[in-house]
Structure formats: structure tokens, C-alpha cells
Amino acid sequence: MLGCRSGVDPNPTYRIPAGVGIESVSTFSDTCRCQFSDSSPAHSHAQKGFRVAHGQRIGYIRVSTDDQNTERQLDGVPVDKTFTDKASGKDRERPQLTALLDYVRDGDTVVVHSMDRLARSLDDLRQLVRGLTEQQIKVEFVKEGLTFIGDDTPMANLLLTMMGAVAEFERALLGTLHPST
């Protein structure tokens, strides 16, 4: 039997019967993330009321200040889990972004309202998107209507670069109009 930890209780170990097609077992803070083949029988966690994840939609929300509203960014967009930062996009060291990057797995989709919510510079945006898609994680930008899957086609690279450059330009323009942002 393989053991799997679920963060619901700090010390539980649930036993998964051998032969159920488990491909990988991981430890996470609030949900079991066992990956298993489609032909496997019901997973023991599902029988215990735990949600077993395979290909989750993970939302990322970022606002710059505490008084900004986070609700509108992914309002009506179905996600399984959301990570929210209240920090400047200029700083790549954002606690919830780091947590999201640690949480996502192969087959997941990271859903973000717009490119400028994920990164403020084109270099950071390209690095984040490439890093995720290289792990077989899709990146979906709702406002732009774009999803990157890591196919690295010339068109995907062009769209990411052009749209990211526009977002970076808007940020720079805003900085000249409102120097405190």
C-alpha cells in the first residue's frame, strides 16, 4: 500500500490500496493531489469525502493595495482554488505567487484575470509562463482570451510578447501619469 498525506489533519495517513493506478503521491496543505490513471477504480480519498484533483483550475489574483477589490478579477470564472496577493506586481517575490508555483502540477491550468496581474515586466511574464508551460501547466488569461499550453509556436510566442509588451507599456505610462503607483 502507498501512503498519502492530506493536510486536513496535520498527521493523517490514509492508505491507498495497491493496484489502483497511482502514478504519484504528494503532500499538500489542504487537499490530496494524488494523480491516478483514468482506468483506476474509485480512490480511497474520494470515498472519505476528499476531493481528488486531476487537472485543477487554479486562480491567481493580485491587487497592489489593501483597499483594492479582489472580487472582480475572477468573478464568474470557475476555479478550484485561488491564491491572492496584495502586493505590487513589480516585485516577483510575492508570497501567494510562490505558494501557487509550489502547488500547481502537471495537467493544471493557472487562471489569471490579465497579464499585468501576473507580472509587470515582459521578462517576468515570459519567464513565469514558460516555467509553468514547461511543467505541462496551462496558463489562461481571461481578459486577453489567451491560453498558453507550451506548444512554443511562433504565433504563441508573438502573442505573449506583444500582449506582454502592451501591459508593460501601460504600466510605464501609468507611472509617468501617477508617479506614486
The beta strands (E) that lie in 31-141 are given as 35-36, 57-63, 81-86, 109-112, 138-141
Among 18-22, 30-34, 53-57, 155-159, name the most confident range: 155-159
> Is 177 a residue whose pLDDT tops 90?
no
Answer whether 43's CB lies under 8 Å from 34's CB. yes
**Could you give the percent of the chain with pLDDT greater than 70?**
66
* Tens digit of each residue's pLDDT (9 = 90 or more) over 27-59: 333 344 554 444 444 444 433 444 444 689 999
- Is 180 one of the annotated active-site residues of the chain? no
* Tens digit of each residue's pLDDT (9 = 90 or more) over 53-103: 468 999 999 988 877 888 889 999 999 999 999 887 666 678 999 999 999
Cα 38 off chain centre by: 23
Answer whether 83's CB lies under 8 Å from 103's CB. yes
Place of cell 509617468: 176
> Is 26 a residue whose pLDDT tops 60?
no
CATH entry 3.40.50.1390 includes domain 57-177: yes
Mean pLDDT of 155-172: 88
Closest C-alpha among 102, 30, 72 to residue 110: 102
Annotated active-site residue in 37, 40, 64, 180: 64
Domain(s) of CATH 3.40.50.1390: residues in the chain: 57-177
Reported as a pLDDT band with limits 50, 70 and 90, residue 104 is: very high
Beta bridge pairs of residue 4: 14
Answer whether 118's CB lies under 8 Å from 125's CB. yes
